[in-house]
Structure 1
Amino acid sequence: MMKYVKLLSVLSLFVFLNAACYYDVEEELYPVNTCDTTSVTYAVTVQNIIQENCYVCHSAASQQGGVILEGYTALKGYVDSGQLLGAIKQNSGFSPMPQGQPKLDDCTILKVETWITGGALDN
């Protein structure tokens, strides 16, 4: 019986000491935000995102699905209807874009969303 008590004591001590040595890595708990959304504009930021990710299918030349995102005026219609953000966020009820490609990264989506919440200006 004493043998089991000693064994249980040693195991308990091992578990306690092992748990006491645990520490959190600050970078994992509080990751550094590297997504700069302070100066998002149509001309510098959003237009480049749309050109790089959407023009292959949705330029004036290709017009796949009847959707043209080339130029501010064409894009603004999809912004105002909520279709642009719904599609790139891949929300339910929207066709996920870019089609057949991985979802845009969170920072890219945040930049587009920041531009939209700022009034989607032609700047």
Structure 2
Amino acid sequence: MKNISKLSGILLILFLLNSCYYDKEDQLYPSSGICDTSIPVTYTATIVPMLQQYCYSCHGGTATLGGGIPMGTYASDKAMAVNGSLYGSIAHASGYSAMPKGGNKLTACQLAKVKQWVDGGSLNN
């Protein structure tokens, strides 16, 4: 009977010691926090997927929620890039309607990539 009590006590202590261990989230899931803008930003591979995710559901094709601001073609997307409304809206800049409406602001990395594309001439690549 004493052996069972000792064994139970040892198991309890081991259980308690094991339960005190915890993983540090930043070590398990490191976030570099680095935005790699050295990779060329292209309209097709970088900008279109971003616009599809955040803009085209309201502003593309036959969507009616976009306040009459069409997007979804290179010509319309470039026009917005050239006149400054694309970056101004997604960056929530003063004088522009903050977009996406009712959604989260794009990340700093996403904004940097759009800015890189705009500053690079808004090429259709």
Q: Provide the C-alpha distance between the structure 2 equivalents of 1:60 and 1:72, rounded to a whole number of angstroms.
A: 12
CA-CA distance at 1:71 after TM superposition = 1.2
In the other structure, the counterpart of 1:49 is 50
In the other structure, the counterpart of 1:39 is 40
Structure 2 unaligned residues grouped into runs of 5+: 1-30
In the other structure, the counterpart of 2:118 is 116
Q: Provide the C-alpha distance between the structure 2 equivalents of 1:68 and 1:95, rounded to a whole number of angstroms.
A: 15
Structure 1 residue ranges, 4+ long, deviating more than 6 angstroms after superposition: none
In the other structure, the counterpart of 1:58 is 59
SS at match of 2:67: helix
In the other structure, the counterpart of 1:75 is 77
CA-CA distance at 1:91 after TM superposition = 0.4
SS at match of 1:66: coil
Structure 1 unaligned residues grouped into runs of 5+: 1-30
Aligned residues: 93
Percent identity (aligned): 39
Bigger Cα displacement from structure 2, 54-63 vs 101-110: 54-63
In the other structure, the counterpart of 2:89 is 87
Q: Provide the C-alpha distance between the structure 1 equivalents of 2:34 and 2:46, rounded to a whole number of angstroms.
A: 16
In the other structure, the counterpart of 2:5 is none
Q: TM-score, normalised by structure 1?
A: 0.71
CA-CA distance at 1:36 after TM superposition = 1.8
SS at match of 1:90: coil
CA-CA distance at 1:34 after TM superposition = 2.3
